[in-house]
Structure 1
Amino acid sequence: MNLLRFAVRRLLEMAVTLLGASFVVFGAMYLAPGNPASFLLAGRSASPAALAAIEKQYHLDDPFLEQYLRWLGNVLHGDFGRSLEYRTDVSDLLSSRLPTTLLLVGMALVLVVLLGLALGWLAAVRGGAVDSTVLVGTTFAVGTPAFVAAILLQGFFAVELGWFPSSGSGSGHGIGQMMWHLTLPSLALALYLVGLLARVTRSAMLEALEGEHVVVARSRGVPERHVVRRHVFRNALGAVLTTAGLIVSTLMVCTVLVETAFSVGGIGQLLELAATTKDFPTVQAICLIIIGLFMTVNLVVDLLLPLVDPRITLGTRSSS
């Protein structure tokens, strides 16, 4: 399939999926117990006339489909509405907090890729005690939830040793201070995925090591480091790339727990606060952003797979 045609088809599929997701996200407001207008009153009592005035002001008395189409039109123009909790535009809230979350996720992703690939490579190539050590370490990592890792890292490195800050993002003090503040949160966020990627890399490389092309390359006297790099690791990259969607989605979900534990102040913590206070416009906006990011990563992975592994055609993924 032509690359351009495939990309266009996937973009159209993404648009349809996002449209469906937006309908579900918006409709979820009506599944919450109580009247949406009651959340605007923050627990205060109001007369029926005052309640009707609030519903009219926020168009809550309009038919559901009309409300959804109005909201969708605003979203397409970059307007996610006004936060019910913070009394400001949701777009402003997101723009002030999104850089912190992106830096946190970026730092965690770097740790996941570097440590996960390195540990998987070492376990597959070295074997023996190295392989056993990596398996034990990754078992611990995969079995440790992000919020547990956050508590352990915070208690030991921040409270006991005092090496890192226990909370905050360091925003407003330069990129260096932000990275220092986000070191422990990024470690807590990356721990599970490092173990997962290391195991996927190890399994894929062990399978590639048994391939006939590897035997042929060794019989021709190709140096072992070239065999591993060119014939083993490259063939294993297809299986590694297929986990990219899972990695990104896990990072975005777990950042809610980690940011809350460290009081980072990104969109993960904002989502938790918005869900607690029934701040529907904010929850809707963040959910759409996460869904869009997940779908974009999957599209990029599908476009990269044929370049990494020529055996894979557009629209298919390796099952190895």
Structure 2
Amino acid sequence: MAAILLLVSFLAFSLLTLSPVSEVAVLLGSRPATPETIAGITAQYRLDDPFFTRYWLWLVDAVRGDFGASVQSGQSVTGVIASHFPLTLQLGLYAFVLVLVAGLPLGLAAGIRRGCLLDRATSAFTVIGMSAPGFAVGIVLIYVFGVRLGWFPVYGGGNGHFVSTVVHLTLPAIALAIGLSALVVRQTRAAALDVMEQDYITFAKARGVSGTRVLIGYLLRNTALPVVTAAGLMLIAAVSGAVVVETVFSVPGIGQLMVKSIEVKDIPMVQGITFFVALAVLAVNLAVDAAVLILDPRTRISGRRRG
């Protein structure tokens, strides 16, 4: 994690140097290019120092949570990210819950009843879900449920109250969850098919073990490992994929903040968001690895044997 985060931080910091215009012009933003302002920018960002010296100083500040000030607003980058991230996290978790509630049962049912009408319909859904771009699904949802039926608001993130936030994030969460659900359904179905073909399932049925016990004690336990791994990846995809969905629904989260920062060339803000999102992705990966160790004792035993 430390090595990956170090690499991401280096790439994020390099964005300022790789900019097609001068570093001073990027950092000035809309401010007048007076000699005093240029001298202040040069001193603040140590533009006269060597590249790796500036990178090290930036990295030390980033570890402390200081990414400098936004070129556009002059506010602290960390403060702006902290004010936008909760809404993106709520949207990602909402979509994640929808994926688990809809995708897991559907995938298990399709895997248990291979070849039936439900299985064929599920396979068709996964193809459509993975083929439909999130922004296109969002536009359809806005037209049908927002404009024509008027059931849900079509933009914004609510007024901060729980009910208002849930109502405003419902359509964006569905748009984000459809594609992710298709992937989870496929993964769960494949895992269920593999487990159902194992000898211990056949032996359990031959012994007269009840269907409920086979489902809970054998199928769910043995499909948990690949499903948890896929679910962790889905949570990462839900947070990172919120960029497009937030733009379609005008949700003021990290995704929309990133798009606006890129449009106005607010490099310090882009650097901070990149570093922060990378940290969040690594944290989710760590949580998934820990969950795998808890769910599957074989991983702990094999690790001790290698040690």
Normalising by structure 1, we get a TM-score of: 0.88
Amino acid at match of 1:143: S
Aligned partner of residue 229 in structure 1, secondary structure: helix
Amino acid at match of 1:168: G
67-76 vs 264-273, which deviates more?
67-76
Are the aligned partners of 1:100 and 1:171 in contact in 2 as well (CA < 8 Å)?
no
The answer to whether the 8 Å contact 1:238/1:308 transfers is yes
Structure 1 residues 314 and 140, CA gap change in structure 2 (3 angstroms): farther
Which amino acid in 2 is paired with 1:23? Answer: F
Deviation of 1:47 (Å): 6.2
Q: Distance in 2 between matches of 1:280 and 1:44?
A: 15
Out of 56, 59, 72, the residue aligned to residue 46 of structure 2 is: 59
Output the CA distance in 1 between the equivalents of 2:77 and 2:130.
Answer: 35
2:5 pairs, out of 3, 18, 23, with 18
Q: Secondary structure at the match of 1:311?
A: helix
The residue type equivalent to 2:111 in the other structure is A
| 8 Å contact kept, 2:28–2:71 | no
From 239, 243, 248, the equivalent of 2:230 is 243
The superposition leaves residues 68-97 of structure 1 with CA deviations (integer Å, 9 ceiling, x where unpaired) of 122112122221211111110112111211
Deviations 1:271-295 (A, max 9, x none): 1111111111211111112111111
Name the counterpart of 2:218. 231
* Pick aligned residue for 2:277 from 281, 290, 294: 290
Gaps spanning 5+ residues in structure 1: where? 1-13
Which residue of 2 is the match for residue 138 of structure 1? Answer: 126
Counterpart for residue 148 of structure 1: 136
Q: Which residue of 1 aligns with 2:60?
A: 73
> Which residue in the other structure is 1:7 paired with?
none
Distance 1:50 1:180, change over 3 A: closer
Query: Is contact 1:302-1:314 (8 Å) kept?
Result: no
Corresponding residue of 2:190: 203
Greater mean deviation of Cα atoms: 283-292 or 181-190: 283-292
Match of 1:5 in 2: none
| Residue from 157, 160, 173 that aligns with 1:169 | 157
SS at match of 2:152: coil
The CA distance in 2 between the partners of 1:185 and 1:159, in whole Å, is: 15
Give the direction of change, closer, same or farther, for the CA distance of 1:227–1:284 in structure 2 (3 Å limit): same
SS of the counterpart of 1:121?
helix
Of 157, 177, 188, the residue aligned with 2:145 is 157
Rounded Cα–Cα distance in structure 1 between residues aligned with 2:93 and 2:33: 46
Q: Is the 8 A contact 1:244 1:298 kept in 2?
A: no
Give the corresponding residue for 1:6: none
Amino acid across the alignment from 2:118: V
CA contact (8 A) 1:306 1:314 kept: no
TM-superposition CA deviations, 1:219-262 (whole Å, max 9, x none)? 11110121022111211111112223431332122101011111
With normalisation by structure 2, the TM-score equals 0.92
Q: CA deviation at 1:31?
A: 1.2
Shift of 1:44: 7.2
Is the contact made by 1:83 and 1:281 (CA closer than 8 Å) also made in structure 2? yes
Secondary structure of the corresponding residue to residue 162 of structure 1: coil
How many residues are matched? 302
Q: Which moved more, 1:77-86 or 1:187-196?
A: 77-86
Change (3 A) 1:315 1:93: farther
Taking the TM superposition and a 5 Å limit, the aligned residue runs for 1:268-307 are 268-307=255-294
Q: CA deviation at 1:212?
A: 0.8
Unpaired segments ≥5 residues, structure 2: none
Cα deviations across residues 119-157 of structure 1 (Å, max 9, x unaligned)?
A: 101111234111111111121111111111111111111
Q: Which moved more, 1:49-58 or 1:163-172?
A: 49-58
Aligned to 2:111: 124
**What is residue 11 of structure 1 aligned with on the other side?**
none
1:91 equivalent in alignment to 2:84? no
Change beyond 3 A, Cα 1:16–1:40: closer
Once residues 19 and 295 of structure 1 are traced to their aligned partners in structure 2, the CA distance between those partners, rounded to angstroms, is 12
Secondary structure of the equivalent of 1:264? coil
Contact 1:120 1:200 in 2 (8 A): yes
1:222 matched to 2:217? The reply is: no
